[in-house]
Structure formats: C-alpha cells, structure tokens
Amino acid sequence: MSHSSAPVRRVTDWDFEQLSALAGEHGTPLYVVDLDRVAENYERFSAAFPDAHVMYAAKAHTGRAVLETLLDAGADIECAARGELQRAIEAGADPDTLQYTAVNPPDADLDYAAELGAEHPGLTVTGGARDTFDRLEARGYDGRVAIRINPGIGTGHHEKVATGKDAKFGIPYDDVVDLADDLRDRFDLVGIHAHVGSGVLHDDLDDHCRAIAKVADLARDVGDEDLEFVDFGGGFGVPYHEDEEPLDMPTVGERVREAVGDLAARVKLEPGRYVVADSEVILTEVNTVKETPASTVVGVDASLATLIRPAMFDSYHPIANVSAPDRAAEPVSIGGPCCTSADVFCTDRPVPRPEREDLLAIGNAGAYGYELANQFHSQPRPAEVAIEGGETRVVRRRESMDDVTRVEREAGEARAERAPRNGERGAEGTR
C-alpha cells in the first residue's frame, strides 16, 4: 500500500451508487465502514512518526472488523476498559502487547486486568489515580505500569473532550515525581502517559504541542532514561466541516518531534478518531417532509440512538443526498423519530432538497458513532456493512426487537423457574 492516499475523505467522495445498492440490500439506518480506508489512515499516520510506537485507541471504534484490519496493518491496541481488552484479544491481539488505560476502573475491570497480567506479563496498566495503583497491588499485581498525568492543558473540539485539564483524568502534574519513586518499589514502572484532548486541528496544534513539551519535561524529571516510553496519547482530528482543511501529517510529525525534544524513552502515540472517522457513513431514509413557518423539517429513520454525537457534543456531521446529489439545495432541518428536541442532525442547513424515500448519507461516522449507539425508544441498533477490497459483507447484523428485550425476558424466565408453583404454595398453606 502506498502513502499517497488522500488526507481527507468527504462524504461526497463515497460511491453513491454503491451506497444506494447497500441500503437497498440491507435496509436503513445502516452503518457502512470502508476497511481499506481504515488501513490507509493508519499507514499515513504511522508514516508521519516513523520512530514512534503507534497504537490504536480502541474506544473510537471497537468493531471486530476494524480491530482485525488494524492488527493486520501492524497496529497495537490501547484499551480504556475491560470490554475493550477482551474485544481486542478476541480480534487476535496478543495480550502481551496491550495497554490498558484505567479511568476510575470498576472492580471487575481491575480483577480482569490483574488476572490477564499474571498470565501475560507484557500487559501494561496505566493508572490515573493513586487509588488505582493501591487497588492493583491489593490484587497481587506487580507488573508493568505507567502513570497518567494531568498536564493542566486541554485541547480539542469541545470542552467535554479536553481531558488534559479535567481533574477526572490523571495524576496532578506536581505529584508525579514523588509517585514515580513510590511506584518503582511496587511495580515495574515503564512509562508516562498523557492525553490532552480530542479533535485537534490547526488552531489547536500550538496548545497541543505546548502540552506535549510539558509532558516531555516531566518525563525527564521522572527519569526518562529509566522509562521504556512516554505516551502522548492521540487527539489528532479530522475535518468534519466541508471548509476545514485536514492536518498535514508530515508537518504535524515535525511539530511533535520539536515539542518532545531529546528523550531517551521511546515516543508512543494513540490515534483513534484520525484512523476511523472518515472511514464510515450512516445511511438513512427520508420518511417525512414537513413545511412549517420556521423551517422545512425532514424526518429520517436514523436518530440520536443511531448517532448521538450531534445531541451530546453539538457536533457537525456532513450530510449528502445520495438519491439526488444534483437537486437544488435548500435550508432544511433533519431529525429522527425520537421524542426529544435533541434528536436533530442539522438545523436550517442547505442540502439538496430531500423528498420522501430519498437516501441520505451522514459522513464522518466512524469515530464514536456505533460506539455510542443505543436503544433509546426501544430502537434496535442498526446493521454494519464493511467494504474491503471491492467486496462487501455484514460485520454486525441488525438487532431485532427480540434482541432489545432478551435480557429482560431471560430474567423473567429465570425468576419464573425459581418461583414455586401455585399448587405447591396452596399445599404448603394447608399444612
């Protein structure tokens, strides 16, 4: 594979004829992921950092097909929860290569990590609180650990993802040197970790590099010659708006290297969004067009249960009319069937005027799209179809109402099996 793939894939760059055929075959709403694009994005990122250890941040998209694609491309996997560790292993990851970044981990997560580390000493557990390390030690874990620090600088597309200045994440900057001395007596301290935010583009790059420099300085204070790595996280963004330019990754690589400076430990990076965001679209069908004095309201069968980012982060996602891309554009508001005003994908945005049964494509759905899909209003989650090497296949089947209600039904059946029969209760009452 070459390093020349386009640095951004707009929603209008997709093959509309193929998307229409997939919607006709599999129904809507439908997630469509291009696995070749996933591999291209990972390769482009890695090429910009030839001396770094590049891992994929699984939380952006834990779909098995995506994980398998990245493992085949040579990526290691960084996980933020027990379930991600398990899914990475089931996709074929070597547990000795995994990194687990624990954020206020539940007991079950730490139990699993400690047991996994006992069998696979290459596992690295990153802690962002003294409690986490104490709880690991209480479980008999004495293996590889890294300290997540809070540099006090946050960047990214929304305040809810500016983790570098959020007290929830990481050890306070001034406490790290003392903690490192303590942990060296209890574990194998192999790294320092920080993640300052998500969706970093050109306007955020200065702050991002300033945070990287601050983390590198702290690593030197801790003793970088005794560390295996310094992990600067991910956070590199992609353009969601049509007029935003993509990052020039060779330039970004140079900027990051300048910010890091001389460091004995190896640089580690964890792209997530950058790798998967523009690799996926959501297909949705128009079911309602309503003229009102305030706006033309377009109803579709996708909803915030399909893609919650616009409701959660006020995120912009580009929208194309696959059925009629050349139709005259008009300002429309597009929303789904959920009974809340938050269920809106755009408001008064120019789109080639949708008509009933038109197929729309919502772009940049690969990062935190299916990951945040839910069953609000008892809506079954959609299917996901993968494109790879010119072939297509279903990688996640569409849920049914049977799937939505199964856990309740099984609980009810189990309760019914445990309960005494009416006749038994009656006999007991006559004794």
The pLDDT-based confidence of 424 (bands split at 50, 70, 90) is: low
| Nearest Cα residue to 273 out of 173, 195, 347, 206 | 195
The reply to whether 79 belongs to the active site is no
Q: What is the pLDDT of residue 402?
A: 96
The pLDDT-based confidence of 413 (bands split at 50, 70, 90) is: confident
Does residue 298 surpass a pLDDT of 50?
A: yes
The pLDDT-based confidence of 161 (bands split at 50, 70, 90) is: very low
Percentage, residues of the chain above pLDDT 90:
84
Does residue 376 surpass a pLDDT of 70?
A: yes
Catalytic residue of the set 79, 338, 339, 346: 339
The residues, ordered by sequence, that sit 6+ positions from 174 with a Cβ below 8 Å of its Cβ are none
Q: Which tokens in the block code for residue 91?
A: 């996709």
Residue 177, CA distances (Å) to 149, 152, 216, 233, 266 in order: 10, 16, 13, 20, 19
Percentage, residues of the chain above pLDDT 70:
93
Burial letters 158-181, b for 16+ CB under 10 A, else e = eeebbbbbeeebbbebeebeebbe
Q: What is the pLDDT of residue 427?
A: 47
Higher local confidence (pLDDT), 241 or 423: 241
The 3-state DSSP class for residue 113 equals helix
Burial letters 25-36, b for 16+ CB under 10 A, else e = ebebbbbbbbbb
The backbone torsions φ and ψ at residue 186, rounded to the nearest 5 degrees and listed phi first, read -120, -25
Does residue 166 surpass a pLDDT of 60?
A: no
The predicted model gives 197-201 an average pLDDT of 83
Distance between CA atoms of 341 and 364, rounded to whole angstroms?
22
Q: What is the pLDDT of residues 70-117, one digit of tens each?
A: 999 999 999 999 999 999 999 999 999 999 999 999 999 999 999 999
The predicted model gives 326-348 an average pLDDT of 97
The residues, ordered by sequence, that sit 6+ positions from 179 with a Cβ below 8 Å of its Cβ are 130, 147, 171
Q: How many residues does the chain have?
A: 431
Q: Which CATH architecture has domain 1-35+274-431?
A: Beta Barrel (2.40)
The predicted model gives 114-126 an average pLDDT of 98
Q: Which tokens in the block code for residue 426?
A: 């009656």
| pTM, to two decimals | 0.92
Q: Would you list the domain boundaries of the chain?
A: 1-35+274-431, 36-273
Q: What is the pLDDT of residue 156?
A: 42
Burial letters 202-212, b for 16+ CB under 10 A, else e = eebbebbbebb
46-319-352 Cα angle (round to 5):
140
Please state which of the ranges 98-107, 204-213, 333-342, 361-370 shows the lowest mean pLDDT.
Answer: 204-213
Q: What is the pLDDT of residue 425?
A: 52
CATH 3.40.50.740 corresponds to the domain 36-273: no
Q: What is the pLDDT of residue 431?
A: 39
Does residue 241 surpass a pLDDT of 50?
A: yes
The pLDDT-based confidence of 430 (bands split at 50, 70, 90) is: very low
φ/ψ region of 312 (left if φ > 0, alpha if ψ in -120 to 50, else beta) reads alpha
The pLDDT-based confidence of 420 (bands split at 50, 70, 90) is: low
The predicted model gives 297-304 an average pLDDT of 98
The predicted model gives 292-299 an average pLDDT of 94
Neighbours of 248 (CB within 10 A): 13
The pLDDT-based confidence of 197 (bands split at 50, 70, 90) is: confident
The predicted model gives 34-63 an average pLDDT of 97
